[in-house]
């Protein structure tokens, strides 16, 4: 969904021809999996940070076009709403001081955005759901003026036969509402971690990314409030799942945790894309079949929490990536890179520790863990290997940090770097504080003044201190 399209208008013939090309490209990809043509070797990582623009009252500021025009930065692109942008990173081999390089680049781009936002009367914010956001902010008037977003809205509601989206979330409080466009999606901002993987290990690492999703959500939760309602620790999860609801069952949901592990390869995801998900954007592209242009566009309209991606090296050889989408934006650059280090270490550490992890952690258990973590954060009950139940904070502190350390050692990350980044995760669980907990504790102390809370949050964010060092005054 990152690419622009020429038109938002499509004919029946466009859909038929797109499907024909999608079938041909899916068959070619199946042949590639059988032949083992994918790039192998070193593990490579990258990231995407979705961020908000806020005005001086801490309300969303629909200014991304003006910001991007002045920015001239290829790593920053528009998002669905005009008050959001996405910051991308350079892909790097996971070794040595890679996390320091990631942090330096992200902080540099972040500071550049903030400097250019200031003359516009705006500032940048990274948070899973902006607490001051109101439903009226999520209108088509605030949609970024790109054909791909307008076409997405058109096609989602074509499949819904014009029926409004219905949002229902039961948490500490309950929220029920209807919405007439896809702009609900823009209320949720994420931090997406990418890992390029060896073709022979891709299925295992993909399954382990699903297993890792629960502790990742628990430790990083940063979205407790939506439209001034106190809901889940990571309300972004149910919000996003319901914001593009065009399927009635788990088999057809466009945003989901999935229905099972992979058995053999990521090809199973792309086969499911073809069989289970109607085409949303039938853009016909003048590309050779080997570019898989239609397959990749269609895959971009299926938002799995762990999404398989096909990319190409500079020499044109295809590679496989896992996009880990469960982590919210924020609270700081430092916290984001610590989350990145924990994810890479945890997945690769589990890969070394378990020969067949799927047989020791049933899929239903992994999915239940994920939603429990989204609801209750660090205090969620998680069933782990050995069929034992643990509080998420205790599990991370007593077991998973050790697993992650082994995984990062396996990558040859510098020991001091491992200590620093995993130390931030450790302090979060020891002190019992993440973004969601900080927001709720601020409200408990100062009351439900969400503008004041957002100002306090941004002040702490701009200090550069990780969230476990934030104060509540």
pLDDT digits (tens, 9 = 90+) for 106-148: 999 999 999 999 999 999 999 999 999 999 999 999 999 888 8
| pLDDT confidence of residue 249 | 60
- Domain assignment of residue 441, yes or no: no
CA 396-401-405 angle, 5° bins: 165
Q: Is residue 457 part of a domain?
A: no
| pTM over cut 0.85 | yes
Task: Categorize the per-residue pLDDT at 41 as very low, low, confident or very high, splitting at 50, 70 and 90.
Answer: confident
Look at residue 182 and tell me if it is in a domain.
Answer: yes
Number of H helices, E strands in the chain: 16, 16
Q: Indicate whether 187 belongs to any domain.
A: yes
Residue 473 confidence (pLDDT):
78
The span from the first CA to the last CA of the chain, in angstroms, equals: 41
Contact between 233 and 375 (Cβ < 8 Å): yes
Under the banding of pLDDT at 50, 70 and 90, the label for residue 194 is: very high
Q: Residue 338 pLDDT > 90, yes or no?
A: yes
Average pLDDT on 72-91 reads 95
pLDDT value at 7 more than 60: yes
Q: Residue 147 belongs to what H/E stretch?
A: helix 147-159
- Asked if residue 30 is part of any domain, the answer here is yes
Query: 226 by DSSP, 3-state: which?
Result: strand
Q: 250: closest CA among 398, 371, 408? A: 371
The CATH number covering residue 161 comes to: 3.30.590
Specify the DSSP class assigned to residue 244: T
The answer to whether residue 374 is domain-embedded is yes
In 361-470, which ranges are continuous DSSP H helix?
363-376, 392-395, 401-410, 415-431, 435-446, 450-463
Q: What is the number of structural domains in the chain?
A: 1
Quick one: which of 378, 374, 383 has its CA closest to 394? 378
Answer yes or no: is pLDDT of 83 > 60.
yes
Lowest mean pLDDT among 157-166, 221-230, 245-254, 421-430: 245-254
- Report DSSP state, residue 380: -
Domain membership of residue 313 as a residue range: 12-43+144-434
What's the CA gap between 426 and 400, in Å, rounded?
10
CA distances from 315 to 112, 312, 318, 319 (A): 32, 8, 9, 11
Kindly report, residue by residue over 275-297, the tens digit of the pLDDT: 999 999 999 999 999 999 999 99
pLDDT of residue 470: 98
The answer, yes or no, to whether the previous bond of 303 is cis (omega within 30 of 0) is no
Look up residue 98 and give its two tokens.
């890679």
Residue 413 inside a domain? The answer is yes
What is the mean pLDDT of the segment spanning 212-227? Answer: 98
pLDDT of residue 3: 59
323 in any annotated domain: yes
* In contact, 26 and 40? CB cutoff 8 Å: no
């Amino acid at each position: 969904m990152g690419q622009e399209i020429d038109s938002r208008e499509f004919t029946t013939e466009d859909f038929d021809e797109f499907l024909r090309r999608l079938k041909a490209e899916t068959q070619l990809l199946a042949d590639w999996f059988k032949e083992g043509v994918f790039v192998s070797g070193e593990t490579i990582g990258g990231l995407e940070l979705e961020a908000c623009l806020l005005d001086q009252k801490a309300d969303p500021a629909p200014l991304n076009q003006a910001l991007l025009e002045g920015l001239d930065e290829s790593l920053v692109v528009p998002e669905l709403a005009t008050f959001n942008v996405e910051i991308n990173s350079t892909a790097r081999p996971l070794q040595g001081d890679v996390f320091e390089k990631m942090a330096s680049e992200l902080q540099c781009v972040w500071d550049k955005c903030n400097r250019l936002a200031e003359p516009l009367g705006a500032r940048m914010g990274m948070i899973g759901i902006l607490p001051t956001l109101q439903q009226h902010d999520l209108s088509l008037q605030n949609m970024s003026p790109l054909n791909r977003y307008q076409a997405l809205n058109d096609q989602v509601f074509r499949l819904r036969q014009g029926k409004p989206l219905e949002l229902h979330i039961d948490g500490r409080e309950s929220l029920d509402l209807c919405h007439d466009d896809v702009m609900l999606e823009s209320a949720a901002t994420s931090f997406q971690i990418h890992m390029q993987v060896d073709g022979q290990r891709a299925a295992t690492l993909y399954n382990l990314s699903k297993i890792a999703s629960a502790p990742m959500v628990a430790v990083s939760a940063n979205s407790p409030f939506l439209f001034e309602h106190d809901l889940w620790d990571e309300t972004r999860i149910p919000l996003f799942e319901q914001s593009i609801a065009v399927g009635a069952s788990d088999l057809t949901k466009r945003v989901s945790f999935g229905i099972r592990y992979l058995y053999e390869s990521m090809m199973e995801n792309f086969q499911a894309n073809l069989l289970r998900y109607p085409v949303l954007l039938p853009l016909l592209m003048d590309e050779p079949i080997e570019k898989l242009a239609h397959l990749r566009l269609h895959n971009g309209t299926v938002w799995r929490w762990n999404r398989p991606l096909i990319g190409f090296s500079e020499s044109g050889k295809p590679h496989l990536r896992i996009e880990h989408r469960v982590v919210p934006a924020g609270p700081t650059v430092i916290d984001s890179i610590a989350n990145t280090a924990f994810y890479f270490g945890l997945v690769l550490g589990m890969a070394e520790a378990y020969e067949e992890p799927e047989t020791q952690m049933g899929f239903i258990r992994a999915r239940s863990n994920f939603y429990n973590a989204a609801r209750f954060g660090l205090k969620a009950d998680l069933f782990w290997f050995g069929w034992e139940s643990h509080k998420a904070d205790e599990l991370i502190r007593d077991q998973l940090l050790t697993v992650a350390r082994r995984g990062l050692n396996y990558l040859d990350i510098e020991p001091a770097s491992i200590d620093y980044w995993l130390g931030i995760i450790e302090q979060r669980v020891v002190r019992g504080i993440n973004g969601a907990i900080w927001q709720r504790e601020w409200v408990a102390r100062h009351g439900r003044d969400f503008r004041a809370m957002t100002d306090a949050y941004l002040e702490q964010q701009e200090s550069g201190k990780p969230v476990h060092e934030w104060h509540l005054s």
